[in-house]
Amino acid sequence: MTTSVFIDGEAGTTGLQIRERLLARDDIHLISIDPDLRKDTAARTDAFAQADVAILCLPDDAARAAVKIAGDTRIIDASTAHRIADGWIYGMPELPGQRDRIRDARRVANVGCYATGSIAMLRPLTDAGIVPADAGVTLTGVSGYTGGGKSMIADYDTGTAPDLFLYAVRQDHKHVPEIMRYGGLTRKPLFQPMVANFAQGMAVQLHLHADLLPGGIAGHARIEAALRDFYAGDPFVSVVQPGERVDPQSLRDTNRMELSVQGDGAGRVTVIAILDNLGKGASGTAVQNLNVMIGAKETAGLT
C-alpha cells in the first residue's frame, strides 16, 4: 500500500531533508506543489486534501495556520507550535507507551532538537526516581547552525555570524516547556544553549551533583543502568562508553542518538547526548513518526 505525503515547507532546511529521506521509498508517494505556489492557500489546501499524511516544516505561526486548512489529513508538525497543546500526541517514540499513541494519532507534534537529547537523558532518571521531579537540574547544549533554519544558514554562509555564541541567556528557550512535561520535571531547569560554526550536529549535557541525589554517589552507576534499561532494544538510541573528547558532529546525517555518563565517579556527573540536530532532532524523527503512524518498519528510510 502506498501512503501519500505532503511536506508543507518542502524547500526549507527540515523539509528538504525529509524529502530526501522519503524520495527513494516505493511505499511513499510525495505530493509536491509548484515552488512558486508554496505559500498559496488554495494550492496547499488541495495538496492537504490529496495527502494521507502531511508533514509541516514551517515557522510556528504558519504551522498553526496550516492545521486550519489541513482538514482530516493526519499531521506531523515539526514546529514548536503544538508540542504541549491539547489534542496533540508528542512525537518522541522512545517514551513509554508513545509508539502506540503515535500509531493511532491524527495530530503528532515532532519533538524539538534540544528536547530530544534533554528528555532522552532525563526521563529514564525521573521515571526511576533517581532524579526527583523537583530537582534543580542544569542542561547545556551546542547545536550546528542549521538549527536556525535558512536565515541562520545564510549568516554563516556569508561569514557574518560568530564562530560560537550563547543565546536564550534569560532562561527563555522555547524547548523548556516540553522538556519539563516529558522529561518529568516540575521545577524549571536551567538550560543554556549555544550555536557553533558547523552545519549539523548537537551535544546536550545534563549536569548533576549525584552525591546530592537520593541514591547518593552510587547514583553514578545507577544512572548508567537506568539509561541502559530504558533504551534496551531501541533501534536508534544507545548508551556508549564515555570518550575523552566528545564530538557533536559524530552522528551527522543519521537518526541515531548516543548517550554517555561521564564524570569523576565521586558525585559530579555529566550525562551527554549526541545527535544530529537536523537528523534525529528534526527530519529523522519526523520520518520515524511517519513510519510508526503508517505501520511501516520503524527504521525505513533511516540509518
Ligand X SMILES: CC(=O)N[C@@H](CCC(=O)OP(=O)(O)O)C(=O)O
Q: How far is the CB of 144 from ligand X (least distance, A)?
A: 7
DSSP symbol at 185 = -
Site size with ligand X, rule: CB under 6 A: 11
Out of 9, 91, 93, 215, the residue judged to bind ligand NDP by CB under 6 A: 9
* Residue 140 grid coordinates: 547545556
Residue placing its CB nearer to ligand NDP in the complex, 61 or 247: 61
193 interface partner picked from ligand X, ligand NDP, none, CB below 5 to 8 A per type = ligand X
d(CA 25, CA 29): 8
Write the DSSP string, 99-148. Answer: HHHHHH-SEEEEPPHHHHHHHHHHHHHHHTTSS-TT---EEEEEEEGGGG
Instruction: Clarify whether 57 is annotated catalytic.
Output: no
42 membership: H or E segment, kind and range: helix 41-50
195 interface partner picked from ligand NDP, ligand X, none, CB below 5 to 8 A per type = ligand X
Q: Is 113 in the site for ligand NDP (CB under 6 A)?
A: yes
**Which residues is 29 bridged to in the sheet?**
4
Sign of CA dihedral 73, 77, 78, 79: positive
Site size with ligand NDP, rule: CB under 6 A: 26
Q: Of 89, 92, 102, 113, which is the active-site residue?
A: 113
Q: Within 13 A of 124's CA, how many CA atoms are on the CB side?
A: 25
Q: Is 195 in the site for ligand X (CB under 6 A)?
A: yes
Kindly provide the b/e burial profile for residues 10-37, where b requires at least 16 CB atoms within 10 angstroms of the residue's own CB.
bebbbbbbbbebbeebeebebbebeeee
Out of 3, 17, 73, 79, the residue judged to bind ligand X by CB under 6 A: 79
Out of 15, 193, 279, 301, the residue judged to bind ligand X by CB under 6 A: 193
Q: Is 141 in the site for ligand X (CB under 6 A)?
A: no
Binding site for ligand X (CB under 6 A): 79-80, 112-113, 143, 147-148, 174-175, 193, 195
Binding site for ligand NDP (CB under 6 A): 9, 11-15, 38-39, 57-60, 62, 78-80, 112-113, 146-147, 149-150, 277-278, 281-282
